[in-house]
Structure 1
Amino acid sequence: MTRAFSLRRNKAALRRLTRRFRGNPRGVAAVEFAMILPAMLAIYFGIVETGQGVMIDRKVTQLTRSLADLTAQSTTISNTEMSNIFDAAQTVMMPYTSANPKMSVHHIVVDGAGVAKVCWSEQRNSTKFARGTTVTIPADIRLPNSSLIMAQASYDFTPVVGWLIKGGAISIGGDPIYMRPRLGKAGGTASIEQVERSGVAMCPGFG
């Protein structure tokens, strides 16, 4: 009798607890909120990180354009002037300074046969091309006996939730921008107008 009475009492207590839970919307709301919280956080961080990525992409494009523009305005570039160009262009990335951007400037000379080769190349946190390296550039700017500045830049963006992404950092940018020398000087075996690099022979004559 005692055991049967205990079972009936436990069942009654369970029914009362169930009725209280059903009648209390706060408990249901708490459970629902706990279920959708991960999805809400994922959406929030996704929107924030996407916005950051778009802004960085714009900054990198401006950085690349600044590198090409500043270099194209020179007649002769010394080591100090080249360093100043990198310093000035890099300020475009503010406030995104958690990582140093990769920057490179290549002076391309197109010979009489329409072959584009590197006359000189400089870089910061990146890779420069060897003198005389043949490069592929768009056909509409590959004019025989001409020169141009090719600038490239990229930025390694690490999202707040980067630990969820394989490899962590995402490289943004890398597309080249081309500009013609504005104040170049004629030189090399074909007297092509170009930006001279101090201590480097003008091109053609890539030896």
Structure 2
Amino acid sequence: MITLVVRIVLSFAFLLNGFRKNDRAVAAVEFALILPVLLFTYIGIAESSRLIIMDRRLAVVAGSVGDLVARADGVINRNTVDDYFEAAEFTMAPYPSADLKQVVTSVDVDDKGVATVEWSRGYNGGTAHAQGATVALPPHMAVQSKEKHLIIGEATTEWRPIIEYVFQSGFTLSKTYYYRPRFDAGISLN
């Protein structure tokens, strides 16, 4: 009986010694430990890349609508502005444009740098500025644009993560661009 117990203890000790000396599965254990970190990093990089691309496309939307309106010679038609809005939506592809809100505004800047809205047009839920309201300009823009007209192109959209693991919730992206009319005079909306 004692020999049986000794044999069991010796075989168990031999088994443990074998596990201690065996290093064949070390790579698998290391991979299992680092896999969650790698996946978290990969998903974070993918979501961050998608966010940066959407932000750049939103900038193109706001900039292109404002620039196209600023190219008008004195008068621009409401339908033409709406066409610019619709065309700018395609810039967001393949990302969704359902939440894309756009606003284009013409302001007159007085000799003190205060911008007053001449007209404003919103699209897809974008809130137009009230005629006669004042709009805050960045300080350098207010100084450079005294006694001039400006066209302001604005765009906002909601960014939502595909996998809500790295980023827990979405947020609003917003871009605003300022343009002087090409012919250095006000542009009226017809």
Indicate yes or no: 2:170 matched with 1:169: yes
Q: Deviations over 1:144-168 (max 9, x none)?
A: 2x211001113322223335434x1
Q: Which residue of 1 aligns with 2:115?
A: 116
Correspondences of 1:142-181 after superposition (within 5 Å): 142-144=145-147, 146-166=148-168, 168-172=169-173, 174-181=174-181
How far apart, in 2, do the equivalents of 1:17 and 1:122 lie? Answer: 80
Q: Which residue of 2 aligns with 1:140?
A: 143
Residues 197 and 98 of structure 1: CA distance in aligned 2, closer, same or farther (over 3 Å): closer
Residues 15 and 28 of structure 1: CA distance in aligned 2, closer, same or farther (over 3 Å): farther
The alignment partner of 1:162 has SS state of coil
Q: Deviations over 1:15-35 (max 9, x none)?
A: 344344334434332222111
4+ residue runs of structure 1 moved beyond 6 angstroms? none
Bigger RCO (CA 8 Å, 6+ sep): 2
Q: CA deviation at 1:94?
A: 2.1
How far apart, in 1, do the equivalents of 2:50 and 2:115 lie? Answer: 36
**TM-score normalised by structure 2 residue count:** 0.81
Select the residue among 45, 48, 56 that pairs with 1:47.
45
Q: Deviations over 1:62-92 (max 9, x none)?
A: 1111011111122433332221010112222
Q: How many residues align?
A: 185
How far apart, in 1, do the equivalents of 2:116 and 2:20 lie? Answer: 77
8 Å CA contact retained: 2:61, 2:91: yes
Correspondences of 1:4-43 after superposition (within 5 Å): 5-6=4-5, 8=6, 10-43=8-41
Residues 112 and 33 of structure 1: CA distance in aligned 2, closer, same or farther (over 3 Å): closer
* Structure 1 runs not aligned, ≥5 long: 185-192, 199-207
